[in-house]
Every structure is written in C-alpha cells, then in structure tokens.
Structure 1
C-alpha cells in the first residue's frame, strides 16, 4: 500500500483545519484583542485582563500557531486601512520564516510571564511541557542549520538560571528546567549575530526592511542613501539618551499614549511606520536613527560582529559603551524597526 497519498491527504486536511477560523470577529479591534490575549506570555500588557494560561498561549506550539494563523486569515478578509493591510501582509509573510523554531524569543522572559498567569497544577504541567518543547524545537532547528546567536543564547541561559535559583519556582518545573539548562550549557551558538546567518535569513530581513521602510529597496541601496545623508548632516555629535527597556527603542520613544493600534507584539502593538511618520524628530534623534539604520544593515546584511556594531555606534553617537551595547541588542532583537524613520530621513 502506498502511504504517500494518504500522508498528503492528511497534510491537506491539517492545512484546511489550520486556516479555518475558530470564531468570527466583527471588527479589526476584536481580532487585535484576540492577538493581544494570545501573545500574553510573549508580551504581557499593563492592563491585561488575562489571568489564566491556555494551551493556545504557549508560544509557537501547534495550538498557538493555528490560532494565530486563523486570526490573520480573518484579518485578510476585512476592510482595513492601508497601514493595517501592510502590517497584516507583513505578519503573514513572516509565517514562512524560521521564527517558530525559536519558541522562547530572547528579548522577553516568557517563563516569568507564564508563571504570573499559571494558577493550578495542570497549567504548571503545560509550562513544563513547553520548556521541553523549547528544547526540542532548538534541536530540530539545528538539523535545519538554524541556531541562536550568542546574545540570544546568553539571555536564555540567564532566564533559565534565574528560574532555577528562585525559591518560588514550582518544584514541578525543576526537572525540565535542569534539562534545558544542561542543553543550553552544551549549545554552540552560530558565529554570525545577524539574520543573514540563518537559512532564509536574508529574505526574512528584506521583508522587514520592506515593511518598516514602506519601500522596496535592497540593503545596498539603503546603505547608499544613508551614506549620502550622513555626508549632508553636521558632523558634530549630539547628546543621545538610551535607556534599558522591555521593548524596542522605537516603541519606547513612540508609545506616548495608551492607544494600541497594531497587531505585532514585537512593535508593542503599534503601527510603527505610521507613528514614526507622524513624529517630529530632534537633531539628536535624527542622528540616533540614522546610526541605528546603518548599524542594522551592518549587522543583518554585512554580518558585522558585536564589536564592529558597537564601534560604529560609538563613532556616530555621543554615547557610552554600555549605551552602545543596549542599542546593538535592540538591533539584534528588533531587526529593521529603525527603518520606520527611513521615509522621513532618507527620501
């Protein structure tokens, strides 16, 4: 008996079930709220009403991905503004890329967020299974030439060690945490810190540039524009303020009110290109985002090292080495976001 047609049929049925919405949203705002709830473990909102941890909220599991995909599909059928449509298209394109293999994004302590919501033994069991899932996904990723960079690796090790050292971490998680800790101790991160070091990473990065800049230009074309802009700017360094934050530098700068307009937890649920376009930048901020765009391309396209990226920021900006390190990590965790200011600064 030939198994291939049966497997193909089952796969098709799975795809059909994945794309079938579990509920119907009457508005963009309802779909947006569903995504915010779904992503609570990734980005807990200050006024969130979510107090329970469901299977769908375990990041990048099959249940999570199916739910997110269904929401995206419904959004694609709605009448949306141009900015909203662009973001939905960007998020749907991102589904093709290897994000799902990295179930614990290093810029957020997912475990700590989960533990604030877990209320019973069953939910602690879900967290235990998710920790094992994180390890299994990293193992699967290695088979596809996908590895964490050394900054991501360092942060995950720190989060796991913090959980092991806490006295209030549920004992049910001890074994899974210990196994993940041992796995990460032996893990060899990839040499390149930028997206170009991942399989399909260059295409993933290009999709980010296209969305945030709202223009389709190659990295080399952007570099040419940035170089020309720097030559036309005053050479004197401006004092720049850089602070540690749980969000990207852009969302920290732009989230000046409580309105949540977007769909992506990585942008603080803000339509960054729209908000950036409406922002009036001081000379110091113009210089900051020019330097961040240049360094972003250096890291994710030219495969700069951490040291090269820091040195470039120190050359361009009046900042300390510690502040330069914060900016480099921001660029690593939020590729392309600085290009939200490209229409304002580079056209």
Structure 2
C-alpha cells in the first residue's frame, strides 16, 4: 500500500475543508469552459443533467446568500452563449443567469464564511499561517517601493490555470497534485522546485498579484480599485489587466504560493 506524502495529506485535508464552504454551490467553476469540453466527450443526456445540476445548485446557493459576482456571472454566460450546443436545459440556465442579481463585490469576503475560507486558502497555498493585516502591510510596502510600472513578459493570461503557473511555466515544471481547481497541479511543490529560476521582473509581478488577491478577496477592493492597482504597478493594457483580474478572482489565494519567496528575496 502506497504511503501518502505530507504534501498529499495536506491537499486531502484542504479538499475536505473545501467541501464545507460556499464553493459547493458553484457546480460550474467559471475558470473552466466545461460546456465546450463536455460536448465532445459525454452524452447529451449526461450534459443536460449536469446543466440542471448547475441551475439547481445556483438556486440553492442564492437562498443561502451564496451569490455569484458580476465577473463569474458574465463568464458563465459567455461560455453558454458562445457554445453551439443547444438544449432546453441550456436555455433554462441562460435565462436564469440573464435575470440573476449578482452580489456587489468580486471577492470571497462577501460570501458566508468567505473570509474564513480565504484565510484557509491563504494558509494552504503559502504553506504558512499569516496575519492578514501584517501581510497587507508587507505587500503594500513591497509594491510601493517600485518607482515605475514593472515591465513583464506576459502576453496572454487564460483562466484554466492560475496566473502564477502561467507566468512561471517557461522555467517551472508542473508537479502533479490532487486539486482539480488547479488542473491537478501542486502549485506549492511546483514553485519549491524552481523558485531559484524566477527572474526579478516576474517576482515583482507576482508580488503585485498577491497584493491584489488579498485586496479583492479579503479587503473588499472594488473592480475599479483592483484594475487601478494592476495598471499603476504593472505595464499592462486594459485587456491584459482585465484578464489578470478575472484570473485572480477565479483562483482565490493561489498566487499566495509565491509569499515564501517574496519574503526570502533580498532584491525586492
């Protein structure tokens, strides 16, 4: 019988906790175009049953005040309306989302137990326990020390993978993990095997992303505030800044895996 590594045990404990938090109402995570993938590999009956499940969970969540953000709603509608697949179940979900009243913010803080869930994610991905106020001050000091917007090599950011994995993909070999939300990549283990190759420019970018991550998910930063922070600290056009914001919103705290290396760096 195989013995689980410490990393796998930590991941399993984290995934068990995940089942108890509001995300259980979101059967369709907005970082994945499930409809496009499923249309090619599952039966029509199975796909329609899943669409009905998504709708039922969203309704249950709304009654429990677990409500989608405008970014999440817009992304799900985009997947649905761009798909050639058609059924009455799909149309019912489109109709429901078209009339759906979103929550006012874009971060986890606004969901029931959202702050506690974010803290759990923060501790898991960073591998450490953090005081949020001290962390906010630390990240703010790091980003404020940058005199001008940081130039980066980022040309495109998708939604499927967390931004931290996309930015470091050219020099970090992905290590397998257990969390489907991270495409079965162990983010912490991946960085631990390549952190010494992260260039200073990317480390600065990831520091800004960590600050925005904390801001929107714990400190109620608005979309406008987050966009301003991204574009005032990084040399980004509107489209790329918006893509990064969506990624941060859909992958809460994942970018915090960079924290140990920000703290260890003498160059920042």
- Normalising by structure 2, report the TM-score: 0.90
Instruction: Quote the Cα distance in structure 2 between the aligned partners of 1:342 and 1:259.
Output: 18
Residue 222 of structure 1 is matched in structure 2 by 135
Question: Contact 2:162 / 2:255 at 8 angstroms: preserved in 1?
Answer: no
Counterparts in 2 of 1:283 and 1:142: CA distance versus 1, 3 Å? same
153-162 or 186-195, which moves further after superposition?
A: 153-162
Instruction: Quote the Cα distance in structure 1 between the aligned partners of 2:147 and 2:11.
Output: 36
Instruction: Quote the Cα distance in structure 1 between the aligned partners of 2:9 and 2:222.
Output: 35
1:322 has 2:245 as partner:
no
Question: Contact 2:139 / 2:211 at 8 angstroms: preserved in 1?
Answer: yes
Instruction: Quote the Cα distance in structure 2 between the aligned partners of 1:234 and 1:310.
Output: 17
- Normalising by structure 1, report the TM-score: 0.70
1:237 has 2:161 as partner:
no
Q: Report deviation, 1:236.
A: 3.7
Q: Secondary structure at the match of 1:274?
A: helix
Instruction: List per-residue Cα deviations over 1:114-152 (Å, max 9, x = no partner).
Output: 11112xxxx311211211111111111111001110011
1:253 has 2:173 as partner:
no
1:159 has 2:72 as partner:
no
Q: Report deviation, 1:93.
A: 1.5
Q: Report deviation, 1:229.
A: 2.9
Q: Report deviation, 1:252.
A: 2.0
236-245 or 291-300, which moves further after superposition?
A: 236-245
RMSD of Structure 2 on Structure 1 (CA): 1.8
Residue 332 of structure 1 is matched in structure 2 by 249
Instruction: Quote the Cα distance in structure 2 between the aligned partners of 1:234 and 1:227.
Output: 10
1:264 has 2:179 as partner:
yes
Alignment of 1:272-287 (within 5 A): 272-277=187-192, 278-279=194-195, 280-287=197-204
How many residues end up aligned between the 2 structures?
A: 259
Instruction: Quote the Cα distance in structure 2 between the aligned partners of 1:80 and 1:255.
Output: 26
Q: Report deviation, 1:82.
A: 2.5
Q: Secondary structure at the match of 2:87?
A: helix
Residue 116 of structure 1 is matched in structure 2 by 40
Q: Report deviation, 1:259.
A: 5.8
1:83 has 2:12 as partner:
no
The structure that has the greater radius of gyration is: 1
129-138 or 246-255, which moves further after superposition?
A: 246-255
Question: Contact 2:157 / 2:243 at 8 angstroms: preserved in 1?
Answer: yes
Residue 59 of structure 2 is matched in structure 1 by 139
Residue 94 of structure 1 is matched in structure 2 by 18
